[in-house]
Amino acid sequence: MARKLGATRMVLETNKQLSEARSLYEAHGYRETQSYKASHDGADHWYARTLEADPG
């Protein structure tokens, strides 16, 4: 859905206490990246993934 709306990159945020979430993100192709916003709202880890082109 995101790709159909023109998105080319997906970014997720979490914190060090949620190790299961971090493992899940990595298992689905997300890689740790730098913070993307000034206010962190408790997040201290950020993950990003390039979205594949929409075949439809």
Q: Which helix (H) or strand (E) holds 21?
A: helix 19-27
What is the residue extent of each domain of the chain?
9-50
Residue 46's CB: how many other CB atoms inside 10 A? 19
List pLDDT tens digits, range 1-56.
888 888 999 999 999 999 999 999 999 999 999 987 776 788 899 999 999 876 66
Task: Output the pTM of the full model.
Answer: 0.79
Query: In angstroms, rounded to a whole number, what is the distance separating the alpha carbons of residues 31 and 46?
Result: 8
Question: Which whole-number Å values give the CA distances from 56 to 2, 23, 29, 33, 50, in the listed order?
Answer: 13, 30, 22, 29, 18
